[in-house]
Structure 1
Amino acid sequence: MTPQKLVERLRSRGEKYIALHLRYEKDMLSFTGCTYGLTKIESEELRIMRENTNHWKVKKINSSEQRMEGLCPLTPGEVGIFLEALGYPSSTVIYIAAGEIYGGESHLQELRSRFPNIVSKEALATEEELRPFAAHATQTAALDYIISVESDVFVPSHSGNMARVVEGHRRFLGHRKTINPDRKGLVELFDKLENGEVNEDSLPELVQQMHRNRQGGPRKRKGAASGIKGRARFKTEESFYQNPYPECICRSK
């Protein structure tokens, strides 16, 4: 079985599809300290995991502050509201490019209720076809990577190495549509919606305006912050792998 075969199977379900890099995985939530929408038992499980993971240096994290600063992965429910506000119909095929979703179907249902055509690797391939990949996390991730690069739209719910490299690869292939959620702005909107400060009918216009320039269009790579020198500048400049424009993208005369 090849990744291209899985892409063909995906397209047979609806021709076009969104690849959603849904970072709602146990290790990601534990590492970032993000517990919004989780039960007390789930939150405690994540806290214990963080405490017991020696190479994670930060142990005490304020989950609310993390979320308000846009440092948490969007929840499956928030992704559903986001995609719906962008105008995608409920019939849209969504491929979940991620590992096991924390809480399983109990949390994924929040997204599935809006977009029932959710597809995973396990739904596209047989157990026998996936067996050679099962013992190799990097090979499983490679499947998600290729399917994400080939998708009609790529949406990462959180920044990370894979999301950045997929975005850069898609730019290299012609600035394929990649929607980077403004997590900080969205959280503020979602909270206002929940508190009745924003009307549900006005949400699509607000979300679309917020993301008008966050859809993978051509733009030069952002440099380091002014006044920063040496190795520290690498932390403030945009990664070449995320945006190889203009050096590695040909432009017609």
Structure 2
Amino acid sequence: MTMTPQKLVERLRSQGGRYIALHLRYEKDMLSFTGCTYGLTEAESEELRIMRENTNHWKVKKINSTEQRVGGFCPLTPKEMGIFLESLGYPPITTIYIASGEIYGGEARLSELKSRFPNIISKEALATAEELEPFANHGSQTAALDYIISIESNVFVPSHSGNMARAVEGHRRFLGHRRTINPDRKGLVELFDKLESGKLKLGSSFSRLVQEMHKNRQGAPRKRNGPLPGIKGRARLRTEESFYENPFPECICRSKKAF
């Protein structure tokens, strides 16, 4: 019998009922494309630089990694996502499904998230090799699995605002504004840097700062943001929030209870 995304959702639910879908954009190509090397070794940073320079269709070749991170343009690391979810109040027993490709650095880097949330589950753990074999070497089909599992999750959290993350958020809004927590990456980086420098410490005070920062970033109903004033032409369109990210109010005609 063919394996379906719904079967994977059922298996996830059987292991604990509720689950978070974490779209962890910490793959090699994403880090190379964005030029984000925070927390990586010199050898890893160099590998990403070479990949970016040798990828012809990527227009930007030289990127200041520090400026990218401070500006909030980098995917949060697995460690940072662990601190973030912990600070929001999720307990260690929370089931977290990792919706992503291969994590750069493998299990060693993912261990920084698992140390806080041991119940981490991937599609490889939910399905047999035989069930996943038809999806091998078909990136779009594998992404579709993650997409549907993310749609059905109790909470969806993207570590970076890429196309899939925006589409999942819009779909979840259409289904009744299911909880989607969008990390304020720029604000969080400021907090994480203060942790690293010793100006802040993990605990209740830190958690309150994170929770206050995200009280209005959890998928509650709101009208789609229009373009910034004073900008014309194609640049004006680029500043407008995507319809696929937030179809409210055009495609949400009645009030639905959030999931």
Q: Which residue of 2 aligns with 1:19?
A: 21
Residue type at the aligned position of 1:12? S
Identity of aligned residues (%): 80
CA RMSD for the aligned pairs? 1.1
Residues 1:213 and 2:216 aligned together: yes
Residue type at the aligned position of 1:239? S
Aligned-pair CA distance for 1:230: 2.8
CA distance in 2, matches of 1:166, 1:36: 27
SS at match of 1:165: helix
Residues 1:122 and 2:124 aligned together: yes
Q: Which residue of 1 aligns with 2:171?
A: 169
Aligned-pair CA distance for 1:227: 2.1
Q: Kindly provide the CA deviation profile for residues 46-99 of structure 1, in whole angstroms up to 9, marking residues without a partner as x.
A: 000001011111111111111000000000000000000000000001000000
CA distance in 1, matches of 2:202, 2:144: 38
Q: Which residue of 2 aligns with 1:102?
A: 104
Q: What is the count of residue pairs matched by the alignment? A: 253
Aligned-pair CA distance for 1:170: 0.1
Q: Which residue of 2 aligns with 1:250?
A: 253
Residue type at the aligned position of 1:29? L
Aligned-pair CA distance for 1:234: 1.7
Select which of 7, 10, 14 maps to 2:9: 7
Q: Which residue of 2 aligns with 1:63?
A: 65
Aligned-pair CA distance for 1:197: 1.1
Select which of 108, 112, 115 maps to 2:114: 112
1:232-251 mapped onto 2 (5 Å cutoff): 232-251=235-254
CA distance in 2, matches of 1:11, 1:198: 37
SS at match of 1:139: helix
Residue type at the aligned position of 1:248? C
CA distance in 1, matches of 2:202, 2:134: 46
Aligned-pair CA distance for 1:130: 0.6
Runs of at least 5 residues in structure 2 that lack an aligned partner in the other structure: none
Aligned-pair CA distance for 1:125: 0.3
* Alignment TM-score, normalising by the size of structure 2: 0.96
Q: Which residue of 2 aligns with 1:29?
A: 31
1:35-74 mapped onto 2 (5 Å cutoff): 35-74=37-76
CA distance in 1, matches of 2:59, 2:243: 27
Q: Which residue of 1 aligns with 2:157?
A: 155
* Alignment TM-score, normalising by the size of structure 1: 0.98
CA distance in 2, matches of 1:153, 1:225: 30
CA distance in 2, matches of 1:54, 1:137: 20
Q: Which residue of 1 aligns with 2:90?
A: 88
SS at match of 2:96: strand
Residues 1:135 and 2:137 aligned together: yes
Runs of at least 5 residues in structure 1 that lack an aligned partner in the other structure: none
